[in-house]
Structure 1
Amino acid sequence: MILDAIRKRWAWVKHLFADGAYDRLQLMDKAAFLDFTVEIIRRSDMAKGFEILPRRWVVERTFGWMIRWRRLVKDYEQRIDVAEAMIHIAMGSLLLRRNAHP
């Protein structure tokens, strides 16, 4: 599961934000077992139209950056490791561009 990989790679991470769709018993049990605090970000039932949700904009902004890479617009890859490598290349390029041209 992804939580095991997060704990292994970034042991210092304690707080996770999740979409309302991920409010599942299995996720919560695993998060509690690995000592994570999970905050579910939900849209209000009373809200009409567009509403900015806390911390959700970070995810949407990152997806927007990745969409600039034509190969990441659709899932063209047949292997997951190639798709992951393309995401790493796209985000690495973004980092390099931002550090080279502050």
Structure 2
Amino acid sequence: MTSADDVGKTILRNKLLGRWAAEKLGMTGRDAEVYSDALARGTVDPERSDVFGKIRKDFDAAGVVESDERILHVMTEFMLKAGNLMPTAQGDSLDAAAVTLARKLMLP
């Protein structure tokens, strides 16, 4: 990731992806939110940034049948959606949005 734009989009994509994966795993409510927040937090943590690997491992452990191609397709769809949801203005507003989301997700 090379900019705050990329970081913000990836955090949002991982949040959306986490919600999708949580649903597939049968999680609801608080459990689903905790799972999706953990994936989003992983965006800025090099040790946990492999969201595809995490989801693949979790799906396999839970017996969820989804192909690698399907997971990658959903990741791409959510990246496009995240790009559309991010503010379009350059500079402060986009940087602030990315930083605010990252800070919120980093809270214990």
TM-score, normalization by structure 2: 0.28
TM-score, normalization by structure 1: 0.30
Q: Which one has the largest radius of gyration? A: 1
1 or 2, which has the higher helix percentage?
Answer: 2
**Larger relative CO (CA 8 A, sep 6+): 1 or 2?**
2
1 or 2, which has the higher strand percentage?
Answer: 1
